[in-house]
Amino acid sequence: MAPRDNQELVPLTDGSGRPNDDDELEGQHTQKRSTATCLDDNGSDSKGPTNRTPINDMKTSMLACQQVIGLGTLWRFPYVCLKYGGGTFLIPYMVIMCLVGYPLLIMEIGIGQKLRHNSITIWTTINPQLGGIGMVICLVNIAMFCYYGTIITWGTKYMIDMNKFPELWPPHGQPSIDPKRSQSFWHKTVLNVTSSMDETSEIQTVQAFSLFFTWFSLAIMLTAAWITFKNKYIQALINFSNSMFQSLPFYIQIMTCVIPPFLLIVVYIVESGYGYISFLYITSVELKDLLVFPIWVDAVIQVFCSLGLVHGSWTSFGSSSKRKSNFLLTATVVVSFSFILVFVWTWFIVSTIIPNVLQDIKNCVIGSAYKWDNSKDMPAHIFYSNNYDALIASRKLDDTLMSFDVQECNMENQFKLASNGIGLIFIALGEFTTSFSFEKITGYQTKIVINIPQILILTIGTAWLIRLLSWFVWALAEVKCLKKMSKFCISSVLCTICCVCGLVFTTRTGVYWLSLYNEVFINPCLTVLALCEVLIIVFIYGYKQFLLDIYDMTGHTIGRLSIFIWRHITPMLLILTFSSILTVGILDGFRYEVWTHRSNFLTKMRYPYWAQLIIWAITAICLLLILAFCMVDSRQNLTFKFLESLNKAKKTTCGHIKRSDSGLSGKGIITEIDFDDCHDSENDEELDTSIAQAPVRMYKIEVLDSWKSARGQVYL
């Protein structure tokens, strides 16, 4: 690239190869934009990462994988996947993961690692008018905590109610409980649901106590975490144990933490005898189901929940990691691990319920024998052949069932009856429930009902929720108005607010309110916040600046296809998702599933309009806070507009350009440039055509005649 008219390109280093003195002065100004030459964590000048090892980056990536092992993956994904027929849902999930989830994950970790701010204050760092983004993130986080806290509450109540009725569960060593009985126990005993949302219901005392117990336990655990963090002896012990574990070879760490859980799940799937049939079901695809918008909308929301996006935890994770950490590798490992986890876990859940589903299909078709009357196309003996299960699981008999007007017996409908919505995990794992008698030891008729997989799920979900709460409390502690409050007070107030808000879901219609709350409030807010994050980083912060930050921190560049996806595809998909949610909510209305006591299965009903109106009003108020903060900050800026114009009139050159007195034949070198006050040049695109490639050499522009062509640093 040739220099512009009336300009000379001067290398940033002097003749000896050391940095120029002017470069050191430039690094002291915090308002200037960062470039590929920056100071590392130790304060030394480095052009790109130099002391990075792949093993350390991989350890950081594996540590980040803990954030995807939570209720969003273990509890929510299986029932959403089975809602759309297993393998059919995996296709939009993979597409959205690549086009939306992966770019958002890179943006959240990268912007936090660069600006070193938490998820609430980072947006005002980019632009003071973006304070509403942090406020809405706070509200959405509280909503998500209430949502997941309610699920843990119902799981806790499920464990309590099992021990209230031990006679319903088989003794240890006997056949497992009938899934239909487990479904009835979940809806009738645990939730005690009504037959409609219009019925009035009061707060259930047992559920309210379970909710209080859950949030009281979470508050105690958070308090213990902060005490552990402040106690130097406990912290020293933790650091010593971590150092001992980190001293082990990396492959031993992987074999210790990652492989055993996957190995246990795969062994159970193989031992169940339905591993192959379950695999056929979760890999079978119905292409016609991909043409409807709801499956794509749920795929977007599920990607947010599986990866934990938009909650702010990844931004806080990036701000606490090393400045030169390779977050591109972290994002790639996390996305890959998340997909493998959801696939294996869904395979496990399907293998636990598919035996009963296949038997129900047999009973359904044989009970409808009068419709097909032993036709040659579907003889009765086919249901007792060896390959019947495989034919049904791969949906090869669905067309035959449709032709004989018994489509209610196909695989999709029977799985919908078996999944039972949000209670799928508790119902599917019901076969692991056993009762133990201690009559011989104590002399009394004492029985304890235990379900080890459910205990593990609740333990993992609780630990995951505590991790999210700790990230959020740490972010709140950095806000100016809350800096005087201790983390103990913030944790107590937060848990109290979530407990009070969660009382709505302890009524007999609480499960319906939770579903409406998820579809009308959480889903639109997550989509809008994700869209705002993408637009802010791409257009306000600047995608070119972000690309330079990526090279500065990781030493790697992003391809042109990825840049195109970030700038165009990701925002477009998020806009379509939000438009679809609005279209369904306004024109058609959302529906909820009602469990009927007599038939023992779920039917769909439309939400009452008054209930939808209440939640939509809350959603609108929450999202309008983003615009409100922008307008308030704009009016405050107008007050000082006149004074700022007077100050600018006194400036002899734009951008406070200072010329050095080094006496270089009248050629002054720029030592300070305020890029925000300089107008864009007409030839900007020529300078930025190769911005996606790594800079080979860095130059500084010397201004001779006109300041309008000064652009700071040019990359060749």
Q: What are the binding residues for Na(+)?
A: 306
Contact predicate 109/327, CB 8 Å: yes
First CA to last CA distance, the chain: 7
Q: Which two tokens stand for residue 596?
A: 């009927």
Listed residue (69, 105, 74, 77) closest to 257, CA to CA: 69
Contact predicate 128/633, CB 8 Å: yes
- Beta strand 698-703 with 668-669 is antiparallel
Annotation: binding site: 306
Listed residue (222, 669, 293, 593) closest to 422, CA to CA: 593
| CA pair distance 45, 37, nearest whole angstrom | 7
Contact predicate 627/132, CB 8 Å: yes
Q: Which two tokens stand for residue 670?
A: 């720029």
Among positive and negative, which fits the CA dihedral 646, 649, 652, 656? positive
Among positive and negative, which fits the CA dihedral 630, 102, 300, 583? positive
| CA pair distance 606, 611, nearest whole angstrom | 11
At 372 the three-state DSSP class reads: helix
Instruction: Describe the chain by its helix, strand, coil percentages, rounded to 5.
Output: 65, 5, 25
| CA pair distance 641, 629, nearest whole angstrom | 18
CA 125 to chain centre: 23
Q: Which two tokens stand for residue 648?
A: 């600018």
| CA pair distance 464, 461, nearest whole angstrom | 5
CA 666 to chain centre: 57
Contacts of 490 (CB under 8 A, 6+ apart): 473, 476, 477, 482
Hey, which residues does 592 pair with through a beta bridge? Answer: 605
Listed residue (159, 158, 165, 164) closest to 187, CA to CA: 158
| CA pair distance 314, 317, nearest whole angstrom | 5
| CA pair distance 369, 380, nearest whole angstrom | 9
| CA pair distance 323, 594, nearest whole angstrom | 51
